[in-house]
Amino acid sequence: MPLAVVLILLVVGSLLFHLLSPWTFTELASNWGMVDFTVDVTLYVTGFVFVVVNLFMAYCVIKFRYRKGARATYEPENKKLETWLTGLTAVGVAAMLTPGLFVWAKFVDVPEEAHVVEAIGQQWHWTFRMPGADGKLGEVDAERISNDNPFGMDPDDPNGQDDILVYNPEVHVPIDKPVKFLLRSKDVLHDFAVAQFRVKMDLVPGMNTFLWLTPTQEGRFEILCEELCGIGHHTMRGAVVVDSAGDYDTWLANQPTYSALNAKPAGNAGIGAAQYAICASCHGQQGEGNVAMNAPKIAGQSSWYLKRQIMNYKKGLRGTNPADTFGQQMTGMVAMLADEQAVDNVVAHIRTFPDNPVEQTSQGGNPMAGAKQYSVCAYCHGKDGMGVQALNAPRVAGMSDWYLERQLRYFRDEVRGSHLQDYYGFQMGLMGQSLYDEQAMKDLIAYINTL
């Protein structure tokens, strides 16, 4: 009897959970209502069978439970019952499979006018490429991928010159126009999935896969990697922003082409020296940092990182959190750098500074305990803590330890990495969650100080 009660409670509980829980489909934002229909049919068929089978079991347990002297009747064949069961099962299975065939036929039949966006996955972020005015994507090759050529572009391919390169996990698409996402992985299996679009597809190294959809709602939709791809898998996020046609054109006009990126002059350290004067008052003449001014050491920091952070300040991705008073100071200062070229110049000047050791101020940490924690950080920041550009992880070894400690705290308290578009800050926030008790932080800093 207890078993029968459990079975009945299981059915009632499951139905209540389904009807009352907040975990339902996200709102549909694409043309793929067919996918929802298919899922609904599967749910109704399997749900009906689940309820009927379990209640039938409970009924049997009660009705045919042990009674003294009762005898079972033996009935090996029941043609009528078998016909019904086989027929109903066939109808149910067919109902679940048939809509999927129609969905798949449509899924592989990409509208000819679909505009193409290549989404490139790597541990653990997304980048995007779109054909330029010629409508053709240039050749790419994994062998050419490097820090200077993260897309693996062929410099001699004329089709690639006007390709639009988006080195950022956020891409825009226009509303109500079919878009075909070409999918390419640089390293391991990933999966491109936006819940609101209902379609998803794996990225397989050495293969090009695709999916297509027509976005039907403006807004910002999160991309999740839905294939386990290593320690940072859960942090591999991005966004597809669906724009009105006008907003999309504005966004597109601001994205660089491959040839424009190549033609951009390198930073000029000489010009940068004059612009650095304002930075020097806090960060020091040689970028050595000044704890009294809350200015970290910048000498020896990776140039790509310095540039990204200054640009983040300029774009309001950093230094806009009201709790980040030092960041707000920095926002005022970077406003003096007129444009990207000025930023490049200053960064080029910073690169000329000698990388002298800094005074270590952090106390109370156990480097042995910190070593264990750092093994997680090492996946991105490198075993030697010198940073890995391809993983968007800056150098941490030999930098101002008081600054590292404060930033860890800022990540924990979501003072840093809280801006919606600060994907790498957000990523660091997720990765660091295991380290955010005070002692763990001190241990970690103590270990980084030994690197």
Binding site residues, ligand CUA, CB under 6 A: 121, 124, 190, 225, 227-229, 233, 236
Which residue, among 81, 167, 69, 187, has the nearest Cα to 126 in the 3D structure? 167
CB of 12 to ligand CUA, least distance (A): 37
CB of 226 to ligand CUA, least distance (A): 7
d(CA 224, CA 381): 23
d(CA 99, CA 36): 10
CB of 121 to ligand CUA, least distance (A): 6
Rounded to 5 degrees, φ, ψ at 221 are -120, 130
Closer residue to ligand CUA in complex, CB, 50/167: 167
Closer residue to ligand CUA in complex, CB, 58/119: 119
Closer residue to ligand CUA in complex, CB, 190/297: 190
Q: Cβ(380)–Cβ(393) under 8 Å? A: yes
How does DSSP assign 97-136, residue by residue? HHHHHHHHHHHTS--TTPEEEEEEEETTEEEEEE--TTS-
Residue keyed to tokens 């070593």: 371
The burial class, CB within 10 Å (0-12 / 13-18 / 19+), for 14 is: middle
Residue keyed to tokens 């572009």: 153
Handedness of CA 421, 422, 426, 429 (dihedral sign): negative
Closer residue to ligand CUA in complex, CB, 236/397: 236
The burial class, CB within 10 Å (0-12 / 13-18 / 19+), for 388 is: middle
CB of 404 to ligand CUA, least distance (A): 27
For 120, the token pair is 């490139």
CB of 257 to ligand CUA, least distance (A): 27
Residue keyed to tokens 């101002």: 400
CB of 427 to ligand CUA, least distance (A): 12
Closer residue to ligand CUA in complex, CB, 225/240: 225
Closer residue to ligand CUA in complex, CB, 237/314: 237
Closer residue to ligand CUA in complex, CB, 145/225: 225
CB of 182 to ligand CUA, least distance (A): 17
